[in-house]
Chain A
Amino acid sequence: MLEIKNLHAVIDGKEILKGLDLSVPLGQVHAIMGPNGSGKSTLSYVLSGRTGYEATEGTVTWKDKNLLKLAPEERAVQGVFLAMQYPVEIPGVSNMTFLKTALNAVRKARGESELDAMQMLKLLRSKAKNLGLSEDMMKRAVNVGFSGGEKKRNEVLQMAVLEPSLCILDETDSGLDIDALKVVADGVNALRSPERSMLIITHYQRLLDYITPDAVHVLAHGKIRKSGGPELAHELEEKGYASFGDEAA
């Protein structure tokens, strides 16, 4: 399971995470909700090891491994996957090449055999079909000229191909219309498994209408302020984050 204890992180000299505690057991889906600027994206970057987002105090363990000591690619090998809020464009590199390179890098690091082009094509076809993505998209350069919805679906496709054990979805719902949201939610639901934990970071409750979490946590001012069941999301939708404002800090 994912165990975060007393996590502090400083970005550009400013403390953003101020002693965050959180546990996500294997097989569970937890949602983290919170107002803008509460530290949601910072948490996702600290967990995935982005340069400039180093923890100053506390521990993060995943399957008994100290994640904070590992480089981003080593965390990926340990099964950490971050579906990004703003997926990055890589001109000239086809989606297919990108996924093949990534999957084989991870497989190699795990001591598994690498897939050849034919095996990869077969795998991608079946995964893409489930997400309603055209094969044509495999040939296009990574995220270049993709619509907002396509980019997010592409993130979920990568997740489906790489089969990580810890999925962090950073505001995957932002910028999606209701149809795209459903497709993405279906994709995520299909990946729910007793072998996989998920952390869904979101500002709004609407994604949680389609993905029912096992637990909901409220992140405000760099700490988890409240935890509860799925009903907590509805409560937040009605009352907003005001009660976690200044008096909670």
Chain B
Amino acid sequence: MPTTSKTFVKDLADQKYKFGFTTQIEAETAPTGLNEDIIRFISAKKAEPKWLLDWRLSAFRHWLTMTEPTWAKIHYSKIDYQASSYFSAPKQKKTPQSLADVDPELLDTYTKLGIPLQEQEALAGVERRVAVDAVFDSVSVATTYKKELESRGIIFCPISEAVLKHPALVKKYLGSVVPVRDNFFAALNSAVFTDGSFVYIPKGVQCPMELSSYFRINAQNTGQFERTLIIADEGSLVSYLEGCTAPKRDEHQLHAAVVELIALDDASIKYSTVQNWYPGDKDGKGGIYNFVTKRGACRGRRSKISWTQVETGSAITWKYPSCILQGDDSVGEFYSVAIVNNYQQADTGTKMIHIGKNTRSTIISKGISAGHAQNTYRGLVKILRTAKGAKNKTQCDSLLIGDKCGAHTVPYIESRQPKSRAEHEATTSKISEDQLFYCRQRGLSTEEAMALIVGGFCKEVLQELPMEFAVEAQKLVGISLEGSVG
């Protein structure tokens, strides 16, 4: 009997993470370890030009001289960078020219994840369509709606393809927001990045559909290092969403991505993330280490970059999507929900660097902690002398569930411009017994009540998500907290 009940409890604990399955597919995987030969191997696999190989090698050589940062409020056993493989690609007979050529096993994987890669006919007013770039381990396996987007001059493709087809754009902007030497994980990514999405929106074009990348780690002992580069030319507009999941494994896997956004005059980029990497089990075993550098440059006047993130997964999240507000009157926004349960740790926040005149930034961060988890908001608002009339408003709210978790707020404000204003507000609250009882008396189960109350707490942020994803995110919030009240 004890065995049966133990299995039952395990099943119960495990069913929370729906995306933990593994796809059985033959893969070509590089031997474990990290050295110049591996980097040459990756570069050769992608048939990259020499300048990019040199760029990678310079990043790698610099990375060797760097030490892993320790300032974040996260604890983990030392990562052995030689124990991981830096390249894994599902074997495909030939490069797929269209969706019809993609391995059905892969298409099936994405269907199971709720990301159908079939293109739908344009039906005005029925359903909004989303173009998807699906990245499986180290390579992009499919990109939808490419032709339709191309007709408007929009480039949406795997970055490895952009390197070959649009070298001038890539060379001009790659590493221009997050330099190779920016930080330990960005340098590592620059050396070994494998795939990711590239977006270019030409002057004056409003992208007619949501663009989305879906990242999936499948192979064992493999890290994922994707690189995303989005350029919004003058007067253009784009909304982009990324999602991610991974199978359940007992060992930790490393994910170190870099995302760079560039908005020119009057351009607007909205970047939304629903991060649902495997968070580890209820005892903290396994889970993804998520060390990500995301930064956007508002280079143009009146440009705008808006980050929205819903962080529910990963064993460790280390992530600070930031905005460099160079152009006068440019706007930066950061809306974040970070949920940690069991033994998850999140250290996340943003940096708003005000350089141009009358630049404005808004930060709304909602942190939810349950179980034994630790959640830290870390933010910097920096107003330079040049940023006359700059304004920032920051609001950080923390919600605690139970008494074994923690919430921490570390806001820095540095202003060198007297004619500027920065406001900071922070609150910490608990879900009260009164609220739970009130909901249950009206017929909601404890878990439905929690999801409702937490959804209300996050509403300001969730409503920033594109409609299609807001509902999904709301559900995810509920699932992430399952089992957090006894």
Binding site for B on A (CB under 8 A): 48-51, 71-73, 75-77, 80-82, 84, 87-93, 97-98, 101-103, 105-106, 109, 141, 158, 162
Partner of B456, one of A48, A84, A91: A91
Measured CB to CB, the nearest residue on chain B to A144 is: B456
**Selected A-B contacts with CB under 8 Å, 24 pairs:** A71-B440, A72-B441, A73-B443, A73-B444, A73-B445, A76-B440, A76-B441, A82-B441, A87-B438, A88-B434, A88-B438, A90-B439, A90-B453, A90-B456, A92-B455, A93-B453, A97-B452, A98-B439, A101-B448, A101-B452, A102-B442, A102-B443, A105-B444, A106-B443
**CB-CB nearest in chain B for A53:** B437
How many A-B contacts if CB must be within 8 Å?
A: 78
Residue pair B442, A162 in contact (C-beta under 8 Å): yes
Q: How far is the CA of A91 from the CA of B458 in the complex (A)?
A: 10
CA distance A80 to B435 in the complex (A): 18
Asked if B444 contacts A101 (CB within 8 A), the reply is yes
- The minimal Cβ–Cβ distance linking A239 to chain B, given in whole angstroms, is 35
Q: Is the CB of A93 within 8 A of B452?
A: yes
Top 5 nearest A-B pairs (CB, nearest first) are A92-B456, A93-B456, A76-B443, A102-B442, A106-B443
- Chain B 419-438 residues near chain A, CB threshold 8 A: 432-435, 437-438
Q: In the bound complex, what is the Cα–Cα distance between A199 and B279 (angstroms)?
A: 48
Q: Is B173 an interface residue (CB 8 A)?
A: no
CB pair A109–B453 under 8 Å, yes or no, is: no
* Given A92-B455, A98-B452, A105-B448: A73 and B440 interface contact (C-beta under 8 Å): yes
* A50 and B448 contacting across the interface, CB-CB below 8 Å: no
Report the separation of the CA atoms of residues A81 and B443 in the bound assembly, to the nearest whole angstrom.
9
**Cβ of A77: which chain B residues have Cβ within 8 Å of it?**
443
Distance of B457 from chain A, by nearest CB (Å): 6
Cβ-closest chain B residue relative to A168: B441
Q: Provide the residues of chain B in CB contact with A88, threshold 8 Å.
A: 432, 434-435, 437-438
Q: Nearest Cβ in chain B — how far from A183, in angstroms?
A: 21
Chain B, interface residues (CB within 8 Å), range:
20 to 34
B161 within 8 A of A: no
B contact residues around A97 at 8 Å (CB) = 452
Most buried by B among A87, A93, A141: A93
* Docked CA distance A193–B286 (Å): 58
Give the contacting residue for B442; candidates A49, A141, A158; CB below 8 A.
Answer: A158
Query: CA of A106 to CA of B441 in the docked complex: distance in angstroms?
Result: 10
- A76–B446 alpha-carbon span in the complex (Å): 13
**A91 B438 Cβ-Cβ under 8 A:** no
Within the complex, what minimum Cβ distance (angstroms) separates A20 from chain B? 21
Give the distance to chain A from B301, nearest Cβ to Cβ, in Å: 35
- Judged by DSSP, the binding face of B is helix
B434 touches A102 (CB 8 A): no
Distance to closest chain A CB from B260 (angstroms): 33
How many whole Å from A21's CB to the nearest CB in chain B? 24
How many whole Å from B152's CB to the nearest CB in chain A?
Answer: 34
On whether the beta carbons of A162 and B443 are closer than 8 Å, the reply is yes
Apart from A71-B440, A90-B438, A106-B442, 18 more pairs, CB < 8 Å: A72-B437, A72-B441, A73-B446, A75-B441, A81-B441, A82-B441, A84-B438, A88-B434, A88-B438, A91-B457, A92-B457, A93-B453, A102-B442, A102-B443, A102-B444, A103-B443, A105-B444, A105-B445
Q: How far is the CB of B209 from chain A (nearest CB, A)?
A: 25
Please name all residues of chain A whose beta carbon is closer than 8 Å to the beta carbon of B448 when the two chains form the complex: 101, 105
> Is B459 in contact with chain A by the CB < 8 A criterion?
yes
How many whole Å from A60's CB to the nearest CB in chain B? 15
A105–B258 Cα distance when bound, in Å, is 43
Kindly state the separation between the CA atoms of A80 and B442 in the bound complex, as whole angstroms. Answer: 9
Shortest Cβ distance from B438 into A: residue: A88
B435, B439, B445: most-surrounded residue (chain A CB, <10 A) = B439
With both beta carbons as reference points, the residue of chain A lying nearest to B366 in the complex is identified as A92
B460 touches A (CB below 8 Å) = yes
Give the chain A neighbours of B460 by CB distance below 8 A: 92
> Closest chain A residue to B453 by CB distance?
A90
Residue with the greatest number of chain B CB neighbours at <10 A, chosen from A50, A71, A102: A102
Q: Which of B434, B439, B440, B443 has the most CB of A within 10 A?
A: B443
Most interface-central of B437, B441, B458, B460 (chain A CB within 10 A): B441
- In the complex, the answer to whether A90 meets B442 with C-beta atoms within 8 Å is no
- Asked whether B438 lies within 8 Å of A92 as measured between CB atoms, the reply is no
Whether the Cβ atoms of B437 and A109 lie closer than 8 Å is no
Residues of A within 8 A of B446 (CB): 73
Q: Which of B437-482 contact A (CB under 8 A)?
A: 437-446, 448, 452-453, 455-460
Q: B429 — nearest CB in chain A belongs to which residue?
A: A91
Contact partners of B453 in chain A: CB under 8 A: 90, 93
- Closest-CB distance, A243 to chain B (whole angstroms): 34
Q: Tell me the nearest residue of chain B to A71, going by C-beta.
A: B440
Q: Is the CB of B440 within 8 A of A72?
A: yes
A82–B439 CA distance with the chains assembled, in angstroms? 11
Q: How far is the CA of A66 from the CA of B186 in the complex (A)?
A: 62
> Which B residue sits closest to A143, measured CB to CB?
B438
CA distance A103 to B455 in the complex (A): 18
B-side contacts of A93, CB under 8 Å: 452-453, 455-456, 459
